[in-house]
Copies of this chain bind each other. A is one copy, B any other.
Amino acid sequence: MKELLISLEHNGGIPLYEQIYQYIKTEIADGKIIAGEKLPSSRALSRQLSVSRSTVDLAYEQLESEGYLESRPCIGHFACDIEGFVQVEPNKGKTSQAPKRRREGYSIDFAVNGIDPGGFPQNIWRKISRQVLSDEDAGMFQLGDSQGEWKLREAIASYLHHARGVEAVAEQIVVGAGNDYLLMLLSMLLGKSSKIAMENPSYDNAWRCFRSLGHEVVSIPLDEAGMKPSELEESGARIAYVMPSHQFPMGMVMPLKRRLQLLAWAKRQSGRYLIEDDYDSEFRYIGKPIPALQGYDQHETVIYIGTFSKAIAPSIRISYMVLPATLLQQYRELGSNFSVTISKVDQKIIEIFLREGYFERHLNRMRALYKGKHDLILKNLKDMTSICQVFGENAGVHLLLKLKNGMTEEEACRLAKEAGIKVYPLLAYFPDCRQAGDGEGILLGYATLKEDEIQRGMNILKEVWS
């Protein structure tokens, strides 16, 4: 046991116990105090340094809990063997730089997702959020139900019933932070051995999610009514992912007959399910919205998925799914182990937003806004009938143009790009190779653009595609 030559700075900013701790730690790290060596007792060291004994105790305790010292009862403190000891050095020279935003030089972007820049109901959201946060209910900050709060689920069930013809009670509803998360959860409930059939073309993201989760995914061609039932039957898939209200990217509405054929497919063999992604069903500009496929299901085969991200804002991560009774059991066994992914504050905000009619009014406002943009594009397309034919109108926030002027998608996109306009080739949404008959298509999204931008954009497209 050797004496420790610590010189304490009494007027420095560093607490005394920390100076002692630091000194001994460095001595051990540098091999100056070797493993097994006994340290002075805290009584002795405190006397030597003229500090209180508790100061030394504190340093010893810290060293002990970090593994530099071990204490043998009634004997004293001994230095430990710290084989391969590594000092924590600040950031090991790691540097970090924010990723540079690529500026692609487009002046107008017909993006197929996103919302109107002024579309977020900021004032109401702020008002409700203030109301929720001033609620003195302490339960608001405790962990909640893994399926989501009961009252929110009731509000969603009621909304879905009235607006979408969905038959659901709160027990069947699971809320989650976005569709991708719900697909993750669902993937667990369905099991990896489930082969999933997707429309071709389809949402590239759902496709990628299922692939990333290890599912076998098969693509089923579409006809003008949607996914072909005969090919679905032949595929051997157990799950089919469809968008009956407004197929993405093709934009068609699945007629009742095809819906019933798909339901018949699901019923034919036990364990088959239809995932109904009702992603932008809120936006329909003519007539009443079409009831969801789920509402026609009599055999618990439809998993209904919807989201507030499209209708309110993409950065609001709130989605929901309606599980059929058969999967609810699975959820309780496997899924309910995972804590809910939406904060209680956000759950409460959206509950009030639904319950007090704000959502309905918001949708009406957005519908009118988007209809104006939709109609403006259609009006412009009337002068372009020799260039392209329009599909998927009267719903959603994008249109599909099929080129008739002999141009390829690539050419059309390139010409648009050279004029500063971003449009989207249909090709990107074919996870599998496309069929000969699919033609060359361009997607125009209009949610994020102002009407004057749309007008300017359409003028330019007319010119460069002529």
**Interface positions of A (Cβ within 8 A of B):** 17-18, 21, 58-59, 61-62, 64-68, 70, 80-86, 88, 90-92, 94-96, 98-99, 113-115, 117-120, 122, 125-126, 129-130, 133-134, 138, 140-144, 150, 154, 157, 161, 165, 167-171, 176-181, 184, 188, 192, 205, 208-209, 212-214, 253-260, 263-264, 286-288, 290-291, 295-296, 298, 309, 313-317, 334-335, 337-346, 394
How many copies of the chain does the oligomer comprise? Answer: 2
Residues of B within 8 A of A92 (CB): 167
A338 touches B177 (CB 8 A): no
Which of the residues B80, B98, B118, B119 comes within 8 Å of A256, measured between beta carbons? B80
Q: Tell me the nearest residue of chain B to A127, going by C-beta.
A: B133
Listed A/B pairs (16) with beta-carbon separation below 8 Å: A65-B253, A65-B290, A67-B257, A70-B255, A88-B165, A94-B168, A96-B154, A96-B170, A118-B138, A122-B133, A126-B130, A142-B313, A143-B309, A179-B339, A184-B184, A341-B341
Least CB distance, A398 to chain B, in whole angstroms: 16
Cα-based distance from A181 to B341 in the complex (angstroms) = 7
Q: State whether A286 and B130 are in contact (beta carbons under 8 Å apart), knowing that A90-B161, A315-B144 are contacts in the complex.
A: no
A256 touches B62 (CB 8 A): no
B150 touches A99 (CB 8 A): yes
B208 touches A96 (CB 8 A): no
Cα-based distance from A167 to B93 in the complex (angstroms) = 10
A66 touches B290 (CB 8 A): yes
Cα-based distance from A296 to B66 in the complex (angstroms) = 12
Cα-based distance from A8 to B448 in the complex (angstroms) = 41
Count chain B CB atoms within 10 A of each CB in A168, A169, A264 and give the residue with the most: A169
A313 touches B177 (CB 8 A): no
Cα-based distance from A327 to B450 in the complex (angstroms) = 42
A287 touches B17 (CB 8 A): yes
Which of the residues B58, B81, B143, B255 comes within 8 Å of A113, measured between beta carbons? B143
**A-B complex: 9 closest residue pairs judged by Cβ atoms:** A67-B256, A67-B255, A96-B169, A62-B287, A177-B341, A143-B314, A141-B313, A315-B344, A88-B295
Q: Tell me the nearest residue of chain B to A258, going by C-beta.
A: B67
Q: State whether A212 and B334 are in contact (beta carbons under 8 Å apart), knowing that A66-B290, A167-B91, A340-B317 are contacts in the complex.
A: yes
Q: Tell me the nearest residue of chain B to A111, going by C-beta.
A: B142
Count chain B CB atoms within 10 A of each CB in A21, A212, A334, A345 and give the residue with the most: A345
Which of the residues B96, B129, B181, B213 comes within 8 Å of A157, measured between beta carbons? B96
Cα-based distance from A92 to B345 in the complex (angstroms) = 32
Q: State whether A98 and B150 are in contact (beta carbons under 8 Å apart), knowing that A141-B313, A143-B113 are contacts in the complex.
A: yes
Residues of B within 8 A of A315 (CB): 140-144, 343-345
Residues of B within 8 A of A142 (CB): 114-115, 313-315
Cα-based distance from A239 to B220 in the complex (angstroms) = 39
Q: Tell me the nearest residue of chain B to A150, going by C-beta.
A: B98
Least CB distance, A454 to chain B, in whole angstroms: 17
B317 touches A83 (CB 8 A): no
Q: State whether A287 and B21 are in contact (beta carbons under 8 Å apart), knowing that A85-B260, A256-B82, A257-B81 are contacts in the complex.
A: yes
Q: Tell me the nearest residue of chain B to A94, going by C-beta.
A: B169
Residues of B within 8 A of A316 (CB): 141, 343, 345
Q: State whether A180 and B337 are in contact (beta carbons under 8 Å apart), knowing that A256-B68, A290-B66 are contacts in the complex.
A: yes
A177 touches B180 (CB 8 A): no
Cα-based distance from A81 to B225 in the complex (angstroms) = 14
Q: State whether A80 and B255 are in contact (beta carbons under 8 Å apart), knowing that A126-B134, A287-B62 are contacts in the complex.
A: yes
Cα-based distance from A78 to B91 in the complex (angstroms) = 73
Residues of B within 8 A of A264 (CB): 83-84
Cα-based distance from A84 to B259 in the complex (angstroms) = 11
Q: Tell me the nearest residue of chain B to A136, going by C-beta.
A: B122
B178 touches A341 (CB 8 A): yes
